Structure 1
Amino acid sequence: MAAPVALIQGSSRGLGLEFCRHILRNRASAAVLATCRDPEGAAELRGLEAQHPGRLTVLRLDVSREEDIRGAALRVKESFGRLDLIVNSSAMLHPSGRGETSLRDVSAEGIISTLTTNTVGPLVMAKYFAPLLQKGGGGFGQQPVEKPKQHSGLIVNITAKVGSIGDNGLGGWYSYRMSKAALNMATRNLSIELGRGRPKVVCVSLHPGTVSTDLSRPYHKNVPTDKLFSTEHSVNCLMSLIDALNMEKTGKAYNWDGAELPW
């Protein structure tokens, strides 16, 4: 089997950067493509690239710009010709950095901006990168024993439990909740379209838990210590789930501990 190729969208910090570290550390032969809006300003990512010459490639990509996504897909096609895994990691809570607590905090601009990054971006990523995932070698996920290969690639959208309509009992955070609920619908739609025929692509939404990142930092004081995860712990859990994915699990949302989340 050819060496697996993974693309992590939103890799300059937080979960995205840790996904790059994890795969480079634990998949000796894997190639990692790391995207971010400003590669020159991503010091940690550039440092990681220097530590793994030839294995980590940094690509400029602003997920809110379709032309950036199209161009990155063309580069990946020319350099690798295929993909085995995409993780859509970048997200914003709200342009202000804080979720809306009531209707008076809601603005059209804030909602549109949040939806563009959290929902539209991952869907457009799928549009341009799905053909490369359909050419993947199935290097991530779980293939059946002594049976034809079930899937060629995986799309993993990082969601949030607050995007679950069935789990919402508190309200608030209009933009973020709506963007993640819509992302879950996109995941479901993608799983149906990309699950038809062969080759198939597995599509799931994964909730990483409450992780100590810039996005969640304003709310750390409200989170019990044992419920606030490091990026390393969260990604370890999520990669265990990714390694166990197959076509039976496509089109669903899962918690970091493997429990299926209600839509």
Structure 2
Amino acid sequence: MIRNIAVIGSSGAIGSAMVRQLAHVYPDAVLHAFSRSGCAQSGGGIVGHSLDMESEDGIAAAAEMASKDMPLDLVFVAIGMLHDREVQPEKALRDLSAEKLQRLFFVNTILPALLMKHFLPKLNRKERSVFAALSARVGSISDNRLGGWYSYRASKSALNMIIRNAAIEVGRRNKQAVIVGMHPGTVDSALSQPFQSNLPAGQLFTADHSAVKMLDVLLSLSSDQSGRCFAWDGQEIAP
């Protein structure tokens, strides 16, 4: 039974959609919604919290706060970065810079790793529990046919390895834990907006549609699937 939930990155398109879906499916659960500015959604069991993602002390305090009354049954990390005003995806080696690599690795790999460090020990050990972080199909090395997007691809590949490592470690003492990466599909959001024109019809999802599909997948997974990466449709993404 899912009684206590945390969503980190709850103000983004996917994070806010996941908060809405979880609140709908589990109206009696406590839902901790963490974001830099605090979750705008409220009502029911939703409790909004501000979280400075760049402070490990803040992350540790958030994990303690969310689990002080009962262990966490589901944690969903909805943070990620592909581009902003200063950083654009690299098309070639000549576009690489230390600054771009550091920025994307910090958001896509280091922050989720620190969240795992502090939230995974708070998962329920008596019943099935789930920790999921947004990953991406382009983080698959074996699936890479186009190249480009060096920092984003590499940072998501690194995230997938950290998820695998964490699943092995946590699985030794929490046999029912499920720790996975999730590919949400191409979601209509600020992250995908510059790249939507080349998409075939039917391949652009609303955030709410993606959240529904991802939650269905997360609820279907078992502990022997921990450490892997799955797409919104339940298909496993090859490393």
Cα 1:14–1:8 change in 2 (3 A) is: same
| Partner residue, 1:33 | 32
CA deviation digits over 1:198-227, x for unaligned, max 9?
454211111111110111111011112300
Regions of 4+ moved over 6 Å = none
Percent identity, aligned pairs only, is: 35
Is 1:184 the counterpart of 2:136? The answer is no
| Partner residue, 1:115 | 105
| Partner residue, 2:121 | 131
C-alpha distance in structure 2 between counterparts of 1:6 and 1:81, whole Å: 10
**Shift, 1:117, TM fit:** 1.0
**Shift, 1:97, TM fit:** 5.0
Give SS of 2:195's match. helix
Cα 1:254–1:23 change in 2 (3 A) is: same
Across the aligned residues of Structure 1 and Structure 2, the Cα RMSD in angstroms comes to 1.6
**Shift, 1:77, TM fit:** 3.2
Q: How does 1:239-258 map to 2 (within 5 A)?
A: 239-258=215-234
Letter in 2 for 1:112: Q
**Shift, 1:134, TM fit:** 3.7
Give SS of 1:188's match. helix
Q: Which moved more, 1:90-99 or 1:67-76?
A: 90-99
Is 1:14 the counterpart of 2:13? The answer is yes
Query: TM-score when scaled to structure 2?
Result: 0.94
Task: Choose which of 78, 89, 92 in structure 2 pairs with 1:102.
Answer: 92
Q: Is the 8 A contact 1:22 1:236 kept in 2?
A: yes
Is 1:58 the counterpart of 2:48? The answer is yes
Letter in 2 for 1:81: M
Letter in 1 for 2:145: G
| Partner residue, 1:90 | 79
| Partner residue, 2:145 | 169
CA deviation digits over 1:104-147, x for unaligned, max 9?
22111111111111111111111111221044x64xxxxxxxxx
Is 1:227 the counterpart of 2:203? The answer is yes
Letter in 1 for 2:143: D
**Shift, 1:34, TM fit:** 0.8
Q: Which moved more, 1:123-132 or 1:92-101?
A: 92-101
**Shift, 1:166, TM fit:** 0.5
Give SS of 1:194's match. helix
In structure 2, the gaps of 5 or more residues are none
Q: Is the 8 A contact 2:83 2:191 kept in 1?
A: no
**Shift, 1:249, TM fit:** 1.3
Letter in 2 for 1:25: H
**Shift, 1:13, TM fit:** 2.1
Letter in 2 for 1:86: V
CA deviation digits over 1:139-183, x for unaligned, max 9?
xxxxxxxxxxxx3x2110111001100000111111110111001
Query: TM-score when scaled to structure 1?
Result: 0.85
In structure 1, the gaps of 5 or more residues are 40-44, 139-150
Letter in 2 for 1:100: E
